[in-house]
Structure 1
Amino acid sequence: MDPHLLRTFVTVARLASFSEAARELGYTQSAVSQHIAALETDLAQPLLTRRPVAPTPAGARLLEHAGALLLRLDAARADLDR
Structure 2
Amino acid sequence: MNTCSWPRTETARLFLPESTVELSDAVQVLDARTGTSLPTGEEAQSNERHRAAGRFLNVPLATCRPVAPSAWTDIVPIAPDAVPDADST
Q: Same fold (TM over 0.5)?
A: no
Task: Tell me the TM-score range normalised by the shorter chain.
Answer: under 0.3
The structure whose RCO (Cα within 8 Å, separation 6+) is larger is 2
Q: Which has the higher strand share?
A: 2
Larger radius of gyration: 2
